Amino acid sequence: MGPRSAELFAKGGVETMEDLLYYVPRTYTDWSNISTVGSLRTGDRVTVIVRVVSCDILRRGRKEIFVAALEDDTGAVFARWFGQGYLKNVLTAGSRAVVSGEVRFDRFARRIEFLNPAFEVMGDDAAAELVHAGRIVPEYSQIGTLSGRRIRRLVKTALDRFLDQLVDPLPENVLRKRGLPGLVDSVADVHFPPSLERAARARSRLAYEEFFLFQVLVALKKRQLAESGRAIRIAWRDDEHARFTRSLPFELTGAQRRVISEIGGDLGRGEPMNRLLQGDVGSGKTAVAASAMHQAVASGHQAAIMAPTEILVEQHFENLRALLAPLGDRVVLLRGGMKAGERGEALGLIGSGEAQIVVGTHALIQEGTSFSDLALAVVDEQHRFGVVQRAALREKGSAPHILVMTATPIPRTLALTVYGDLDVSVLDEMPPGREKVVTAVRDEAARSKVYDFLKSEVVSGRQVFIVYPLVEESEKMELAAATKMYEELKEQTFTEATVGLVHGRMKPEEKDAVMEGFKTGNTDILVSTTVVEVGVDVPNATVMVIEHAERFGLAQLHQLRGRVGRGDQQSYCILMVGRGASDEARERIQVLADTNDGFVIAEKDLEMRGPGEFLGVRQHGLPRFSVADLRSDSRLLVQARDDAFAYVAGDADMSTPEGRLLLDATKRRFRGRGAFMDVG
């Protein structure tokens, strides 16, 4: 190809001949079912070979509709294409074409037609050749201005010239175990398959391969972490654990006990723990973390817990101090807005080791904080922390054990990909006595009724959250809207109640004062932007109203809903949808009303919005897969992971010829693709 095409390809990530051969079709058109115009019947999916008799462009509003009359020796049929006026230069009268699609009945014109069918102009050599062979034709996504057709031609040439040079990176025994076709056959079939079944089999093999290569990286990364240093061995002390459980105001759930013992096992080994704890909002992750931190202290070392917001840090500090100080553990707070004196004192205690449990925000991993003997680091609400921060935290101790906690259930495929280097524990049981949060979707028409309901809750002594979305791009405007809403609510709607406002632009002291008012019950209704998203624990709050719910992801809505239902009163979540919300958005939100299971919601969210949107953060370490699809290929991913981990366990330094081949292929395939690891 010429340099211009090469440049366009490169922009789309196709830089080498190998990349091009792995550039799989988006879909296929089945040209193999060739029929004659005279025998067409409504509902048939067929291909016909026709002459273009005449054509015309109709306009409806701003849309152009291209209409062509087509015929062969047995009859005539019309075809219409919407919004594709440019076809007048492609399907000119007199040209020959192959047209493929579903035959439908046009009720107005009372005749059969093709609507937006696929087609090939016969003048095009490649097309003629393909059609004569009765082939299934690949359709490629265009790259910049490179059309799918042009890509097809280039792929064909690349296959003819270079296919036999491809070397299969998958180990023999893996191919055999999974009954996978070889690479050369698969690449040939994925582009120009003899049947749709063969195409699917080939695509599946290539998707498996992509996952396998990626999981080899994950396995290597995981091993690298395990070998990154000798961790401090924390031998589990049953007597200390018994003291801990006795001081808890509740019995641990079965899930909490199970996870605590998983963590206990990790702590006792010489390798650093790298564990992800997933548990829905309210499942009791803090108690699990506290039990592990207490063990670290009991064996003479330091533990730290890091949370993303000041409010949450404050809350952890209070809870942990209440829980652990009576056992003799010294709990110290380190946060952003501290006065120099206080800060110096805290840093001093951390440095000397007198601070046995340290609670802080990101400040904990900033320069200048140095621990005397950090053995365990807990990171709460992981989705706010990137891999980079985890690494920085790791450097604060020699090789501390790391426990990452998240209330955002992550679908299995994403967990295995983004957090694939971590072991995973799940708290899948709620503490007893929790009432399910009753959830309803409401629109503007119901607003005054909703307000009446809020008033009645306030009158009976309960508290209410009203959350406003803040979209980063238009933060100023949104903030103005939230503030205005707050003033209206305060002055006009809830004149009998105390209404507070909290948002991200406030100074920490102001924020704290407002939150304090809500926690103590002085404030009845708290209007906020999404700062309450994480953590805040106010058991007396029974209603969560979310404005413009359509602007949030499902997982985020679920998080917000978790702010209520923390006490023993029946709680409610009211999802207000704005006037402009689409039907699709309403349907999406309805999922929340239908289930309380965070994992079900996460799977749906992933399905509807895709992995990038789901994770919602820029620095999320999600690689861009070119063949595999994290939504539909989860079974392949699980297999590939098992196989890749088994392989790496058996070829530890990847020094066999097979191992070297694999490593090379992995590096080539994931270069510059945002893969989070960096292996020799």
Letters for 468-507 (x = contact with ligand ADP by CB under 6 A, - = none) are ----------------------------------------
Q: Using the rule CB under 6 A, is 282 a contact of ligand ADP?
A: yes
Stretch in the footprint of ligand ADP (CB under 6 A) among 19-27, 140-148, 285-293, 644-652: 285-293
Name the pairing type of β-strands 63-72 and 45-60.
antiparallel
Reduced to 3 states (helix: H, G, I; strand: E, B; else coil), residue 271 is: coil
CB of 656 to ligand ADP, least distance (A): 45
Distance of CA 655 to the CA centre of its chain: 34
503-511 long-range contacts (CB < 8 A, ≥24 apart) are 503/470, 503/479, 503/528, 503/529, 503/531, 504/470, 504/529, 504/530, 504/531, 505/479, 507/337, 508/310, 508/336, 508/337, 509/337, 511/310, 511/311
Which one among 253, 299, 425, 666 touches ligand ADP, defined by CB under 6 A? 253
> What is the closest distance, in whole angstroms, from the C-beta atom of residue 234 to ligand ADP in the complex?
21
* Secondary structure letter of residue 627 according to DSSP: S
Name the minimum Å distance from CB 281 to ligand ADP. Answer: 4
Tell me if 400 contacts ligand ADP by CB under 6 A. Answer: no
- Interface with ligand ADP by CB under 6 A: which range of 212-220, 279-287, 508-516, 611-619? 279-287
Does position 291 interact with ligand ADP (CB under 6 A)? The reply is no
Instruction: Determine which residue in the list 40, 130, 190, 252 makes contact with ligand ADP, applying CB under 6 A.
Output: 252
Q: Does residue number 542 form part of the binding site for ligand ADP (CB under 6 A)?
A: no
Of 266-274, 283-291, 326-334, 526-534, the window that binds ligand ADP (rule: CB under 6 A) is 283-291
- Number of chain positions touching ligand ADP (CB under 6 A): 17
Options 30-38, 211-219, 274-282, 472-480: segment touching ligand ADP (CB under 6 A) = 274-282
558 touches ligand ADP (CB under 6 A): no
Strand partners for 438: 572
Report d(CA 114, CA 48) in Å as an integer. 11
Choose which of 101, 138, 181, 284 interacts with ligand ADP (CB under 6 A): 284
CA distance 535 to 533: 7
Nearest distance in Å: CB 463, ligand ADP: 16
Q: Are 288 and 244 in contact (CB under 8 A)?
A: no
Which of 285, 301, 503, 561 is in the footprint of ligand ADP by CB under 6 A?
A: 285
CB of residue 646 to ligand ADP, shortest distance in Å: 34
Determine contact, residues 576/546, Cβ cutoff 8 Å: yes
The residues with which 509 forms a beta bridge, in sequence order, are none
Closest CB to ligand ADP among 288 and 591? 288
322 binds ligand ADP (CB under 6 A): no
Q: Tell me how far the alpha carbon of residue 102 is from its chain's centroid.
A: 36
Helix (H) or strand (E) holding 307: none
Shortest gap between Cβ of 326 and ligand ADP (angstroms)?
Answer: 15
CA–CA separation, 371 and 364 (whole Å): 10
DSSP letters along 20-63, please? Answer: HHT---SEEEE--SEE-GGG--TT-EEEEEEEEEEEEEEEETTE
First vs last C-alpha separation in the chain: 34
Q: x/- contact string, 420-449, with ligand ADP (CB under 6 A)?
A: -----------x------------------
Residue from the set 138, 169, 181, 279 that interacts with ligand ADP by CB under 6 A: 279
Exactly one of 281, 502, 577, 675 binds ligand ADP (CB under 6 A); that residue is 281
Name residues whose C-beta falls within 8 Å of residue 497's C-beta, 6 or more positions apart in sequence. Answer: 455, 458, 524, 525
Q: How far apart are CA 277 and CA 407, in angstroms?
A: 9
Among 82, 86, 105, 250, contact with ligand ADP (rule: CB under 6 A): 250
Kindly identify the residues of this chain, within the stretch 562-581, that bind ligand ADP according to CB under 6 A: 566
Residue nearest to ligand ADP (CB): 284
- Scan for tokens 């999406």, then name that residue: 588
Query: 3-class DSSP state for residue 336?
Result: coil
From residue 521 to residue 540, what is the string marking binding to ligand ADP with x (rule CB under 6 A)? ----------------x---
Closest CA relative to residue 50, chosen from 116, 119, 124: 119
Close Cβ partners of 236 (under 8 Å, ≥ 6 residues apart): 264, 267, 268, 295
Using rule CB under 6 A, residue 409 touches ligand ADP: no
598 binds ligand ADP (CB under 6 A): no
Q: Using the 8-state DSSP alphabet, how is residue 99 labeled?
A: E
Residue corresponding to tokens 């109709």: 58
**Per CB under 6 A, does 256 bind ligand ADP?**
yes
What gap in Å lies between CA 43 and CA 34, rounded to an integer? 15
Q: Which of residues 65-84 bind ligand ADP (CB under 6 A)?
A: none
> Does 596 sit near ligand ADP (CB under 6 A)?
no
User: Which of these ranges, 39-47, 278-286, 544-552, 634-642, lies near ligand ADP under the rule CB under 6 A?
Assistant: 278-286
When asked if residue 287 is in the footprint of ligand ADP (CB under 6 A), the reply is yes
Kindly state whether residue 286 participates in binding ligand ADP, applying the rule CB under 6 A: yes
Are residues 263 and 403 in contact, defined by beta-carbon separation less than 8 angstroms?
yes
407 sits near ligand ADP (criterion: CB under 6 A): yes
Minimum CB distance to ligand ADP smaller for 223 or for 566: 566
Nearer to ligand ADP, 499 or 592 (CB): 592
If the CB atoms of residues 174 and 312 are measured against ligand ADP, the closer one turns out to be 312
Least distance CB 633 / ligand ADP (angstroms): 31
CB of 283 to ligand ADP, least distance (A): 4
Minimum distance of ligand ADP from residue 450's CB (angstroms): 26
Nearer to ligand ADP, 209 or 381 (CB): 381
Alpha-carbon gap, residue 580 to 574, rounded angstroms: 18
- HSE, side-chain direction, 13 A CA sphere, residue 311: 24
Give the shortest CB-22-to-ligand ADP separation in angstroms.
42
- Strand 541-546 and strand 572-577: the pairing is parallel
**Please, what is the minimum distance in Å from the beta carbon of residue 467 to ligand ADP?**
17
- For residue 518, give the nearest of 383, 581, 43, 531 by alpha carbon: 531
The neighbouring-strand residues paired with 546 are 467, 575
User: What's the CA dihedral at 243, 246, 247, 248 to 10 degrees?
Assistant: 130
Would you count residue 101 as binding ligand ADP (CB under 6 A)? Answer: no
Question: How many C-beta atoms surround the C-beta of residue 641 within 10 A?
Answer: 21
- Smallest separation (angstroms) from ligand ADP to the CB of 537: 6
When asked if residue 369 is in the footprint of ligand ADP (CB under 6 A), the reply is no
Find the farthest-apart pair of alpha carbons in the chain and give their distance in angstroms, rounded: 95
Binding site for ligand ADP (CB under 6 A): 250-253, 256, 279, 281-287, 407, 431, 537, 566
